[in-house]
Structures are given as structure tokens and as C-alpha cells.
Chain A
Amino acid sequence: METSLVEETFLDDNFLRQLMSVGEVDLLVGIPSHNNAKTISQTVLTIEESFQQNFVRDRVVIVNVDGGSRDGTCDLVLNTPSPKSQNSRGLSSLRTLHRITTRYASQPSRGAAFRAILTAADLLRAKACAIILPETSNFTAAWVKSLLQPAYREDFDFVAPLYSRHKNDGLLARNLLYPMGRAVFGRRIRELNSGELGFSGRLAGHCLNLDVWREESVRTSPEAWMAVTAISSGFRCCQSFLGPKVHSLTSSGTDIVTAVRQTVGTLFWCLESQQSFWMERTGSESVPTFGPEHELTSEPVRVNRKRIFDLFLSGAGELSGVLKSILVPETHAELQRIATDDDRKFRYKDELWVRTLCEFAASYHRAAIDRDHLIQALVPLYRGRIFSFLQEHHDSSPEDIEAHSENLCLEFERQKPYLIERWKAK
């Protein structure tokens, strides 16, 4: 049953044959995998358990797209025995539970995997789809329901997940991606960059028809691009609470530099490609949310704050010349000034942080320096910001942190005219 996609953009005959043998479906769950033999069986079983409990009468399929696993991941997807569970009314699924697996390339690529899943959804005329990452260790059957249900039963087109997080977790999303995305695109979607998401067949078809699949930003972070596309094209968006997000041992290695390059690079690219949409907009609107809108925990965790601060200081000093070509002189001078502060007094205030990001985005737009270099130059400043955040919120309650996040979002919205001014400046 395992097949190979000859080119990352085209489906081969065997895969098409498998899709045709499935026919049309109502629901599709895609699993992008790469050497996930340890967790893939459990992921497949949990998805099928959810199908048996929540979608008894519906036509369903699991599509595994693999990026060249060498540990038998694809075989496990096909050969793991189906669970014999029943729902609360004592019913098990009335339909065949289909599983398809294909290899889209010999090297993993999020964009290529995403595109293969979207193509399968389009060909099978799926009404609602979800993508589940096999490396998420605490994934439950309820997640599948939460991601599929809004698109399937409530007519939403894009379902962003919401997680319960530790207060020090997801700081890039909290300090940059969410507030900036919200201020620019005008929708309060917290998790723009999550690998787990739900979407309608309509949105899948729309995204497939856009000529962007060779863009580096779409290839590295297709989920964020889909979220922005859904917002800017007027699709109905919502959020659905899943529960705590726990990174598995195999996946937690996404370091800060990679995360910033992928996510901020994609966000800035979306700003560039959607500028006609966001330039005239002001303020932001909330989107319907299923479950709590946020949940923070605050148990103690070990963070090496000294190292983070040292990396900021080193970056601010060594990259001064690079930063000078990105930032306006006043902002650059202010950054150099706070870099001389004692670590106990150090604060990277909201106003300066937002101004820094506006100038980075504008410099990205006019390609002041190589764009990848520009994003990398942001990393030390981001470290300074999270050091400041950790100092400020060492003893803060989850409510205080939420209040602060809201203030940061409002600061971004307040400075949007400055972003536009810098964006238009030659």
C-alpha cells in the first residue's frame, strides 16, 4: 500500500489509486510523519478511537504523508490493529476506517506534506479535515473531535487550536506572533503557528489553487500561511481548546533560532504578500472560541536566565552594525542604552519592543539586508525581551500575565500606524 510521491507537488498513480478506492469522505485526518515509529501507532489508534466515538456514521480516512522514514513508520500506520472501542451509546463505527500512507519525498518538508494532505482532501471531497502531529505525546481522542467538529458541524473554515500552557511556554507566540498577527490582520487567533489544526474542504481547495507552494515561507510554516489566507480571504475562523501541549522527547529540539526564522519569517512574508488586506484595517475582532480562551499553569520550571541575558548582551554589542542598518537611529540608540543596564534593572518595555518589531518588519519589506539575516538579527533582541518577561513575571499569577499580554496586543494595535509609516518609507 505504501507509495511514493515522485515530485513533492504531484501525487503518483499508486496514491491516486488508493484515494480512488476510498471514494468520497466526510472527514479526513492527515498525519505528517518522519521517523515516528515510537508514537505513530498510538496516534492512529487515538484518531480511530475518536472516529468510533464521535463520528460513527461518517465516512472517514486517515492519510499519512511521510518524509522518508527509515524506521518503519509507514508500515506501522497500515498494520496497527484497529481499536474495538464503542461510543457512549454502545455503537462502534458503521463505516470502514480507511488508512492511506504515502511517501512524498526522501527528506521531510512541512510544506510538501501539508500540500499532499490538502490535495488528498480535495480529491476525496472531504468536508472537514484535521492535521495531527505524531510527536505530540499527550494527544487524545477529544482533540480530533475538537478540531473536526467546528468545520464539520458548525460551518467554520479554519479551526485554530488553543492549549493549556505553562506561563513560560510559548513565549514567541505570546510576545510576538499573536500580538503582531492580531494587530496586523485584525483577528484574535492565538495559535497561528500550530502544527495541529482543523479546516474545511472549501479552504483546502482555495489554498491548493494559490500559486505560492514554492515560496520558502509556505514550505517552512504552511499552517501560519493558511491561517492568514483564511483571514484575508474572508473564511470563517474559530479557535478550539484542546488541552495541555506537551512536547515529546523527539520533537522538543526546535531551538529559538530555528523557531524565529520559521515563524517570524513567515509572518513577515505574509505581511508582504497580504499588504493590500491589512493596510487599511484598524483594531481587532475576537473569533468564536470553543472551550476556555486561555489556560496558564505556573508550576516552577528551570530556566537559565543568566545565559539568555548574556546572549542578548552579546548580540546587541556584536550585531550593532547590522542592527544599525535595520533600525532607525533613535531605536538603535535606545537598545544600546538598555543593554548597558544591570540585569536586575533591565526592562525591554512593550513600547520599545513593538517599535523594534515594526522597524524590523519594514526593513524586511524593503530588504534592507538579506531577509534571512534580518530575521536572525532579531533573535538576540527576542532573547532580551523574554529575559525581561521572565524577570517581570517571575512571581506573577496567570491572570497578571494575561492582563500584560492584552496590554502588549493593544500596544501593537496602537503602533500600527507607525508600522504603516515605516512600511511606506523609502
Chain B
Amino acid sequence: MKEMIVRGLQQAYENMVHMIAEFLPRFVVMFIIMLFGWLVALLLKYSVRAILHLTKLDRISEESGASQVLRKAALPTISELLSRAFFWVTWAAFTLVGISVLGIPVLHEQISRLFQLLPEVFIAILILFVGVLVANFLSRAALLSAVNAGYRSPRLWSGLVRFVIWILAVTMALEQIGLAKETVIAAFSIFFGAVMLALAVSFGFGGRDLARQVLERHLGDKHKQESEKEEEPTPL
């Protein structure tokens, strides 16, 4: 009995050592590939940036109005954006190759699926890009409006707008590539409903005075409204 247990443990230990001995070199290879990929991606990024700088792409983009769209969304120049895209795509490709070296069948299968899903992935990236554009634009609009109206915590409002649009864009992108479709939609619905409920409750409890002031401003007597207008001199 005792011998059997010792033999079993010995077997388990040997298996583990064998697995580690088999896995460790692969892991090191993966790490080396990723590191090498990172260096190649970095090199490619600077090369692309230099080449695009020579081709004066930024000036062409400026003249065509594309730079204005990027600036409106608080994004960098087109050459910077492209060079960063090259970096991430290259590094992601090396990382995938590295992961496939591990020889884990499930991961291998998922990577193959990922390559098959490339068109959908591309559309999803596009959705994310437009989402970032819209989120940056609208969050800045919210920030400016909140600051000029004298609201408290304008960055909170701005951040909330950005966050909600990001969540929406991420949900749409994940739905596009068909990743955990039901879960994503359910999670989004729960999240969105929770945000709305939280806003309603917090406004109800915390904003009673503010709501009264808003209603008074819109429905209250003229004399009060006029006295409020005197607070800032007439601009024109």
C-alpha cells in the first residue's frame, strides 16, 4: 500500500518534471519570439515613421482635411497613427506565432480561428476606431459645456460620456467578431440599465435641490429670472 502511494507520487513527480522540461524550452522560445517581435516591431515603427515623414504624408493629410478629423478626435498625426499601427500589428503577429509554439491544442485552434476571422476583426477594429473618434469628440464637447455652464466635476461628466461610448463601441466590436455574443449583449444591457438606474436614483436623492432650481428657472416668476441674468454683464 505504502509502496503504491510512493510510486504514484514518484510517477506524478516525474510527469511534472517531464512536462516542465518539455514546456519550459517552448516557453523560452515563445518569450524569445515575442522579444524579437517587439524589437522588429519597434524597428518597423521608426522606419515607417521616417519613410512617411519623407513622403510628406502629414502635409497631404493636412491638405485633404484628414488631419482635421484626427485632431477633432484628439488623435495624433496620420504618420504617427500608421507607424503605431504597424508596431502593434507586427508585435501581435509575433506574439501569436510565439503562443502557437507552446503547442497547446486549444490555443492553437483559437489562433487558427482568429486568422479565419480576420475580415471581421478588421471591421471590429474599424468600429473601435470610429468609437474612439466619437468618444473623444463628444467627451470634449461635454467637458466644454459643463465648464461653461459652471457645473461641478466637469471631468466626471466628460469621462462618463467617453466611457459609455467606449463600452458601446467595444460591445459592437465584440458582437461583430461573434465573441460570446449573448454574454456581451446581456452584460451591456445590465450595465446600461444599471447606469441609468444609478443616475435616476442619484438625481432623485442627491439632486432634489438642483431639480427644484432647474424647474424654478424654467417655470418660475420672471422677476427671479431677470435678477439672475444680472449676474453677468450683457456681452453685446
Which A386-401 residues have C-beta < 8 A from chain B?
Answer: 386, 390
Partner of A303, one of B149, B231, B235: B231
Tell me the nearest residue of chain B to A195, going by C-beta: B236
B205 to chain A, nearest CB (A): 25
Instruction: Give Cα distance in the complex from A359 to B152, angstroms.
Output: 28
Partner of A173, one of B71, B222, B236: B236
B226 surroundings in chain A (CB, below 8 A): 249, 252
B234 and A252 contact, CB distance less than 8 A = yes
Secondary structure of the B side of the interface? helix
Partner of B230, one of A257, A303, A314, A373: A303
A382 to chain B, nearest CB (A): 8
Partner of A302, one of B72, B137, B230, B236: B230
A-facing mask of B52-83, CB < 8 A → 1, else 0?
00000000000000001001101000000000
Instruction: Give Cα distance in the complex from A376 to B144, angstroms.
Output: 7
* B3 close to chain A: CB less than 8 A: no
B80 to chain A, nearest CB (A): 15
Partner of A257, one of B68, B140, B148: B148
Partner of A314, one of B137, B141, B154, B236: B154
Instruction: Give Cα distance in the complex from A376 to B226, angstroms.
Output: 24
* B84 close to chain A: CB less than 8 A: no
B68 and A367 contact, CB distance less than 8 A = yes
A319 and B143 contact, CB distance less than 8 A = yes
**5 A–B contact pairs at CB < 8 A?**
A249-B226, A318-B154, A325-B74, A369-B71, A379-B148
* A368 close to chain B: CB less than 8 A: yes
Per CB-CB distance, the 5 closest pairs between chain A and chain B, nearest first, are A304-B231, A172-B235, A259-B235, A376-B144, A370-B72
B74 surroundings in chain A (CB, below 8 A): 325, 369
| Interface residue count on the B side (C-beta < 8 Å) | 27
CB-CB under 8 A for A322 and B233, given A307-B150, A314-B154: no
B68 surroundings in chain A (CB, below 8 A): 367
* B211 close to chain A: CB less than 8 A: no
A301 surroundings in chain B (CB, below 8 A): 230, 233
* A45 close to chain B: CB less than 8 A: no
Pick the interface stretch among A147-155, A163-171, A406-414.
A163-171
* A25 close to chain B: CB less than 8 A: no
B-facing mask of A166-199, CB < 8 A → 1, else 0?
0011111100000000000000000001100000
* A377 close to chain B: CB less than 8 A: yes
A304 surroundings in chain B (CB, below 8 A): 230-232
A368 surroundings in chain B (CB, below 8 A): 71
* B155 close to chain A: CB less than 8 A: yes
Tell me the nearest residue of chain A to B73, going by C-beta: A370
Instruction: Give the B-binding residues of A (Cβ under 8 A).
Output: 168-173, 193-194, 247, 249, 252-257, 259-260, 263, 301-304, 307-308, 310-311, 314-315, 318-319, 322, 325, 367-370, 373, 376-377, 379-380, 386, 390
Which B184-236 residues have C-beta < 8 A from chain A?
Answer: 222, 226-227, 229-236
B227 surroundings in chain A (CB, below 8 A): 302
Which B100-123 residues have C-beta < 8 A from chain A?
Answer: none
A-facing mask of B126-143, CB < 8 A → 1, else 0?
000000000001001101
* B147 close to chain A: CB less than 8 A: yes
Instruction: Give Cα distance in the complex from A325 to B68, angstroms.
Output: 13
A379 surroundings in chain B (CB, below 8 A): 148
B71 and A259 contact, CB distance less than 8 A = no
Tell me the nearest residue of chain B to A260, going by C-beta: B235
B235 surroundings in chain A (CB, below 8 A): 170-173, 254, 256, 259-260, 263
CB-CB under 8 A for A303 and B72, given A314-B154, A322-B140, A376-B144: no
CB-CB under 8 A for A307 and B231, given A369-B72, A369-B140, A373-B141: yes
B143 and A254 contact, CB distance less than 8 A = no
A172 and B236 contact, CB distance less than 8 A = yes
Which B26-74 residues have C-beta < 8 A from chain A?
Answer: 68, 71-72, 74
A390 surroundings in chain B (CB, below 8 A): 233
Tell me the nearest residue of chain A to B149, going by C-beta: A257
Tell me the nearest residue of chain A to B229, going by C-beta: A252
A247 surroundings in chain B (CB, below 8 A): 234
CB-CB under 8 A for A319 and B233, given A314-B154, A369-B74, A370-B72: no
Instruction: Give Cα distance in the complex from A257 to B148, angstroms.
Output: 7
A377 and B150 contact, CB distance less than 8 A = no
Partner of B148, one of A169, A302, A325, A380: A380
Instruction: Give Cα distance in the complex from A244 to B197, angstroms.
Output: 52
Instruction: Give Cα distance in the complex from A376 to B155, angstroms.
Output: 16
Instruction: Give Cα distance in the complex from A408 to B150, angstroms.
Output: 29
B145 to chain A, nearest CB (A): 8
B222 surroundings in chain A (CB, below 8 A): 249
With A322-B143, A373-B141, A390-B233 given, can you name 11 additional A-B contacts, CB distance below 8 Å? A169-B233, A171-B235, A173-B235, A256-B148, A303-B230, A307-B232, A369-B72, A370-B71, A376-B144, A376-B145, A380-B148
